[in-house]
Amino acid sequence: MDNRAEIREFLVTRRAKLRPEDTGLPDFGGIRRVPGLRREEVALLAGVSVEYYTRLERGGLAGVSDSVLDALVRALQLDDAERDHLFNLARAAGPAPRSTRRKRGQVSASLQRLLDGMTGVPAFIRNGRLDVLAINALGQMLYSEAFVSPQRPVNLARFCFLDEGAHRLYPDWQTAADTAVALLHTEVGRDPSNEELTELVGELSTRSQQFRTLWAKHDVRLHQSGYKDFRHPAVGDLRLSIDALELPAQRGLTLTAYSAEPNTPSEGKMRRLAELTFGPDQRPLASEAPSSR
């Protein structure tokens, strides 16, 4: 798959975020036709010629050495997620990109049992396009708004942008939307030939102006830990810690779990959510947990 347009837009948007004073370069004034650094300024910071950087920004990352990529990382002040994305784009631009439609990841029975045994925390497994492939009972209760629609698997990006329930579930909808788009952009860099991912991006671009606006920013992120806010219809506002772990045995899948900080209002509300899920007096064993599939 030709990913030159993705490379071009990513580098242009990173360049637009920097001003000369952010990099230690003098600003000699004059009218800048576009925001941010000029190409010659990026080339100077990266230690390459203007002609060479221009070729890179036009999508010519195939065969570029790691040292040059690292020079671009420093010049454009990329964070860890952006650095990974740049290297993924360069790999995908090589002579043998992955192709063909990939089957949607399958979750093994043992992983489903692991999820079902996590009765104290909401948890689910997703793929790179944000399909929820498996979820435990408490997770399905937390995301009950997303499971109203009969469409399966639930896709968290489609839910965020096309379902009014997302505005009820996420009190800070904008942050949730930013995160969803950034995760999809990250996955596009990893797997640009994934046709199902391309179809999803096309669908959301067609149906949501908000998605189109955020997609044009070309932001990426590593979603490994942090906090997420929910507004559950039964227990109210929750602020939960999030931990996302990639599953090395099942490439492309991520296990996400939420937990409440001890001695906070959210901890009590999570206990109430568990009571609503399992009943006030019992928590099911893994083998007794209701199937979410």
Which run of H or E residues covers position 237?
A: strand 236-246
As beta bridge partners, residue 257 has 123, 243
Q: Over pLDDT 70: what percentage of the chain?
A: 90
Beta-carbon neighbour count of residue 57 at 10 Å?
A: 22
Before 153, cis peptide (omega within 30)? yes
Average pLDDT score, the chain: 89
The predicted structure's pLDDT at residue 91: 92
Is pLDDT at 96 greater than 90 in this prediction? Answer: no
Select from 228, 227, 234 the least CA-distant residue to 272.
Answer: 234
If pLDDT is split at 50, 70 and 90, which confidence band does 280 have?
Answer: confident
Report whether 214 contacts 161 (CB < 8 A). no
pLDDT tens for each residue of 6-57: 999 999 999 999 998 889 888 766 667 777 999 999 999 999 999 999 999 9
Q: Which pLDDT score, from 0 to 100, does residue 80 have? A: 94
Summarised one tens digit per residue, pLDDT across range 241-256 is: 999 999 987 888 999 9
- pLDDT tens-digit profile of 72-90? 999 999 999 999 999 999 9
Pick 286 or 159 by higher pLDDT: 159
Give residue 123's identity as a one-letter amino acid code. A
92 within 8 A of 3, measured Cβ to Cβ? yes
Query: What pLDDT, on a 0 to 100 scale, did the predictor assign at position 289?
Result: 41
β strands within 58-150, DSSP E: 123-126, 132-135
Distance CA(278)–CA(243), nearest Å, equals 23
Distance (Å, rounded) from C-alpha 261 to C-alpha 248? Answer: 28
Cβ atoms of residues 242 and 258 within 8 Å? yes
What are the tens digits of pLDDT across the range 97-115? 444 444 556 788 999 999 9
In this prediction, residue 291 has a pLDDT band, given cuts at 50, 70 and 90, of very low
The full length of the chain comes to: 293
Percentage above 90 pLDDT, the chain: 75
Residues 137-159: b if buried by 16+ CB within 10 A, e if exposed = bbbbbbbbbbbeeeeebbbbbbb
**pLDDT class of 286 with cuts at 50, 70, 90:** very low
The answer to whether residue 158 scores a pLDDT higher than 70 is yes
Domain segments of the chain as ranges: 4-92, 109-288
Identify whether the C-beta of residue 253 lies closer than 8 Å to the C-beta of residue 130: no
Q: What is the mean pLDDT of residues 53-64?
A: 95
Beta pairing partners, 228: 240
C-alpha to C-alpha distance for 124 and 122, rounded to whole angstroms: 7
- Right CATH for 4-92 from 1.10.3720.10, 2.40.50.140, 3.40.50.2020, 1.10.260.40: 1.10.260.40
φ, ψ of residue 135 in degrees (nearest 5): -155, 150
CA distance 179 to 138: 22
pLDDT for res 77: 97
Q: Give the pLDDT score at 94.
A: 80
CATH number belonging to domain 109-288:
3.30.450.180
Beta strands 236-246 and 254-259 are antiparallel
